[in-house]
Amino acid sequence: MSDQKEQVVLFEERIPIYPRSVKGRFRKMKWAILILAYTVYFVLPWVRWNREVGSGQAVMFDIHDRIFYLFDLIINPQDIFLLAVVLMIAAFLMFFVTAIAGRVFCGYFCFQTLWTDVYIRIERLVQGERPARIRLAKSPWNIKKINKIILTHFLWLLVSFLTGLTFTLYWADAYELINQFFRGQAPFPAYATTLFLTIATYVMAGLAREQVCTYMCPYARFQSIMFDKDSLIVAYDEKRGEGEAGRAKLAKKLKTRQDREEKNIGDCIDCGFCVQVCPTGIDIRDGLQMSCVSCALCIDACDAVMDKLKWPRGLIRYASENELEEKKTNLFKLRNIAYAIVLLLAISGLVWSVMTKSLLSMSVMQVRNPLYVVLSDGHLQNSYDIKLNNKSQFPMTIDLQIQGLDNARLDLGKIKKLKIDALSSLNLYVRIKSVARKDVSGQIPFKFVVKTVAGNQIVEESKDALFTMHDVVSQ
């Protein structure tokens, strides 16, 4: 037995990756999604929106006044359950999409992928294609190298800063904030958020890159429980690529498919192009790996090689494990159908909630100390704190009534007319006076009902409450 203790390696130094550029249908699709995502993200804070009151910004999350503006939709704190529904939709959409098509979210839509793509593009523009970048990294430090490295990091930091600054513009009026920001008059959180996101973007997309996907992202960890043999993944067709005698380069007498078939050699010419374009630096021919973000760039690379050789495409392709084993792929399985049903229900619920969202909310709380008062004329009086929230863009004149209490009267004190400004709330203290009934003791349920008009929409809201009836007769 050896005395030597086994060494546990807790940290592995990052091996730099220099992805090669590639052209193809998936690369085009990824650029299109990237341009769309960047346009939406960077342009949206500057888009104005016509509203009667409140912010003139199309999308703004006004933390100070606790109102979120999403075009014509205005979300108040009382509507926060909508956020829970949105999160639920996002979760089930991810389960559903992952079960069907693997990590497509990672490969096409994830912020990490989108920002890393741009950073690699900048690196390529400044330092050149993969071989030039490798040469530069290995070369001794000189003025040319220093200039290139500084320019790359400067551009990365610039994109990081714009990303961080744009994020803060969603939380206040963009035009006002930008003005204050560069004059040193913006609130401290604006500077802190911009600084934090600048650093985070620079580190994540510029320095850590694929390590975020491999080591930090929790999605990569639990994806395996969402996958099965029917899920579409970016896969290397091992049977076709390796044949029985394995892969081989395009050597003499191995240049045609016929030659290779005769020698039981597969279609993979071991050119390594699929590995060179991979942003996470893995070899898809080793099988499904946690580091694979399903970006499909290796498909484009291999398709380009196959096209050049005039061999059929698809040696690397989107395929299920069952398909690769020449079995049937079944996407209409109970789990996928269940995900789809829950997803549809959640989306319908969200649409219904938004369409029927009340423009007025009311909360009622009975004053408990004292629960009732016996007045000198023998009537009983209960008091209530009522809060009314006008969630619309129009001022409201409120008609407040009670229903279900016979011989009772609502007393608003000195208030003659109930008025609430747009996007405002009103706190009321009201009393109800009732004849003391001999036949009833305990609490009688009734309703507060409010009616009003917001713009051209009639709004009605009601809230259940209790009237405490003291048994005067029994005393």
In the complex, the residues that contact ligand SF4 under the rule CB under 6 A are 234, 241, 268-274, 277-280, 282, 284-285, 292-298, 301-302, 305, 315-316
Q: How far is the CB of 2 from ligand SF4 (least distance, A)?
A: 38
Q: How far is the CB of 268 from ligand SF4 (least distance, A)?
A: 3
**HSE (side-chain half, CA atoms, 13 Å) at 444:** 25
Q: How far is the CB of 122 from ligand SF4 (least distance, A)?
A: 20
Query: How far apart, in whole angstroms, are the C-alpha atoms of residue 255 and residue 273?
Result: 17
Pairing, β 73-75 against β 67-70: antiparallel
Pairing, β 233-236 against β 316-319: antiparallel
- Whichever of 178 and 292 has its CB closer to ligand SF4, that residue is 292
State in Å, rounded, how far the first CA of the chain is from the last one. 94
The interaxial angle of helices 143-169 and 111-127, nearest 10 deg, is: 150
Q: How far is the CB of 153 from ligand SF4 (least distance, A)?
A: 25
Q: How far is the CB of 102 from ligand SF4 (least distance, A)?
A: 9
Query: How far apart, in whole angstroms, are the C-alpha atoms of residue 124 and residue 134?
Result: 11
- Whichever of 274 and 465 has its CB closer to ligand SF4, that residue is 274
Q: How far is the CB of 135 from ligand SF4 (least distance, A)?
A: 23
Q: How far is the CB of 346 from ligand SF4 (least distance, A)?
A: 30
Q: How far is the CB of 275 from ligand SF4 (least distance, A)?
A: 7
Query: How far apart, in whole angstroms, are the C-alpha atoms of residue 371 and residue 382?
Result: 6
Q: How far is the CB of 60 from ligand SF4 (least distance, A)?
A: 36
- Whichever of 174 and 293 has its CB closer to ligand SF4, that residue is 293
131's CB contacts (< 8 A; 6+ apart) are none
Query: How far apart, in whole angstroms, are the C-alpha atoms of residue 25 and residue 304?
Result: 10
- Whichever of 110 and 278 has its CB closer to ligand SF4, that residue is 278
- Whichever of 144 and 308 has its CB closer to ligand SF4, that residue is 308
- Whichever of 163 and 294 has its CB closer to ligand SF4, that residue is 294
- Whichever of 60 and 97 has its CB closer to ligand SF4, that residue is 97
- Whichever of 316 and 362 has its CB closer to ligand SF4, that residue is 316
- Whichever of 295 and 420 has its CB closer to ligand SF4, that residue is 295
